[in-house]
Amino acid sequence: MTIQLGQTAPDFVQESTQGPIHFHSWLGSSWGILFSHPKDFTPVCTTELGTVARLAPEWAKRNTKVLGLSVDELKDHAGWEADIAETQGSSVDFPILADADRKVATLYGMIHPEADPKVTVRSVFIIDPDKKVRLTLTYPPSAGRNFDEILRVLDSLQLTDRQKVTTPADWHLGDDVIIAPSVSNEQAQKLFPQGWKTLKPYLRLVKLSYGVSSVKR
């Protein structure tokens, strides 16, 4: 199954390190990040889980729940969590799905037979409070995921859901944003009384007046 942007994230019930997860109910009114790992006790993923654990305050600021997945069983997850705490200096405080039957991996298209039919690829899904998929990423086995980038996209999605703007390349909170092309200049005068810079009729940059500050990493 190929997950496409804008579709409803498939719901499921699966065991996890924090008990059974009924995905849509567990998300509630929060944003969600679901990210998969080929198997337990893999080196790159060990560093990733430690990073996600250290970013707990940042997820909380953004009303976001994180959920890991591996096709190994709960007993293996427990040993892996101990290794993560020892080597990465952060205890995993979010649930990791024990997807031994590959139910969730299959629902989300995480099994690529031409890569390895026994394990999941390293995917990331951002899901909004309406349970819509807003971002999909798949990483190669050798490259650790950039969670600063995932936070950056999450910031952009949450901002552009609230304001009639889009965000330019390499944007971070506090940078100028782009007035959405669907907004006329007459509408923009009401929405952005602080004014804007027109580089081209379709490219209008504005600094938001409510004082968004940079997020500390």
| The 3-state secondary structure of 84-121, one letter per residue | HHHHHCCCCCCCEEECCCCHHHHHCCCCCCCCCCCCCC
Across the range 48-67, mean pLDDT stands at 96
Kindly list the distances between the CA atom of residue 101 and the CA atoms of 37, 111, 180, in Å, as whole numbers in the listed order.
15, 12, 44
CB 65 within 8 A of CB 31: yes
CB 23 within 8 A of CB 69: no
Picking from 43, 122, 133, 35, the residue whose alpha carbon sits closest to that of residue 88 is: 43
What band does 96 get if pLDDT is binned at 50, 70 and 90? Answer: very high
CATH numeric code, 13-145? 3.40.30.10
- Choice between 145 and 118, residue whose per-residue pLDDT is larger: 145
What band does 2 get if pLDDT is binned at 50, 70 and 90? Answer: confident
Picking from 148, 147, 139, 134, the residue whose alpha carbon sits closest to that of residue 38 is: 139
In the chain, domain spans: 13-145, 163-206
pLDDT score, position 121: 76
Q: Which of 45, 49, 96, 111 is catalytic?
A: 45
Q: Which of 30-39, 45-54, 130-139, 202-211 has the lowest mean pLDDT?
A: 202-211
pLDDT score, position 120: 67
Give percent of the chain above pLDDT 90.
Answer: 72
Across the range 60-89, mean pLDDT stands at 92
Q: What's the CATH fold of domain 163-206?
A: Antioxidant, Horf6; Chain A, domain 2 (3.30.1020)
Across the range 177-181, mean pLDDT stands at 96
CB 193 within 8 A of CB 186: no
What band does 5 get if pLDDT is binned at 50, 70 and 90? Answer: very high
Please write the tens of the pLDDT for every residue from 102-119: 999 999 988 766 656 556
- Asked whether residue 46 carries a pLDDT value surpassing 60, the answer given is yes
**One fold for both 13-145 and 163-206?**
no
Q: How many residues does the chain have?
A: 217
Picking from 96, 119, 79, 118, the residue whose alpha carbon sits closest to that of residue 14 is: 96
Annotated catalytic, 45?
Answer: yes
